Amino acid sequence: MALVLSSQAFAEGEEIPRRFTCDGEDVSPDLAWSGIPEGTQSLVLIVDDPDAPNPAAPRMVWDHWLLYNLPPDCAGLPAAVTRAALPPGTGEGVNSWGRTGYGGPCPPIGRHRYFHRLYALDMRVAGLGEPTKDQLLLAIEGHILARTELVGTYERSNG
């Protein structure tokens, strides 16, 4: 069984509803996963936008949300999950706004893609505190049992 990531808020390749963006409540969408491989010790979730600032001429990847050490028996996260409601032991990394927690889509121009990536690891991440995405990816290198992604899009209206 393959690792699968889904959301009731949007399907693969579809638009992320306004509620989950800076134009709405700026809360995280619900996420559900299944197919966790045997031997998984923890899960990592990374949400980022490779189209920043302009999809026609991207110059950077904007990190929206970094979670690590999600327990393997956790089957997902509810919409608008707060830090206090995260599963015990879950760590948070620092996003491109320089803070932990979810920051929703807020593209300055054009339609951007938002990659929600889930990694199943053969270990728990130790000693990172509040890592950047690069620090987190370096720490999990060589420990990924499976990975999957869910891509949503968003474009701000001009009115």
65 located within any domain: yes
121 located within any domain: yes
Question: DSSP character for 29?
Answer: P
Overall number of domains in the chain: 1
The model's pLDDT over 122-140, given as tens digits with 9 standing for 90+, comes to 999 999 999 999 999 999 9
158 located within any domain: no
29 located within any domain: yes
Q: Which pLDDT value is given to residue 159?
A: 46
- Domain coverage including residue 116: 4-10+23-147
The model's pLDDT over 13-58, given as tens digits with 9 standing for 90+, comes to 999 999 999 999 999 999 999 999 999 999 999 999 999 999 999 9
Query: In this structure, are residues 102 and 66 in contact, taking their beta carbons and an 8 Å threshold?
Result: no
Query: In this structure, are residues 109 and 54 in contact, taking their beta carbons and an 8 Å threshold?
Result: yes
What CATH number corresponds to the domain at position 116?
3.90.280.10
15 located within any domain: no
159 located within any domain: no
Model confidence band, residue 157 (pLDDT cutoffs 50, 70, 90) = confident
Residue 137's Cβ-count burial label (10 Å; 0-12, 13-18, 19+) is middle
The H or E element that residue 6 is part of is strand 4-6
58 located within any domain: yes
61 located within any domain: yes
What's the mean pLDDT in 106-118? 97
What's the mean pLDDT in 75-104? 97
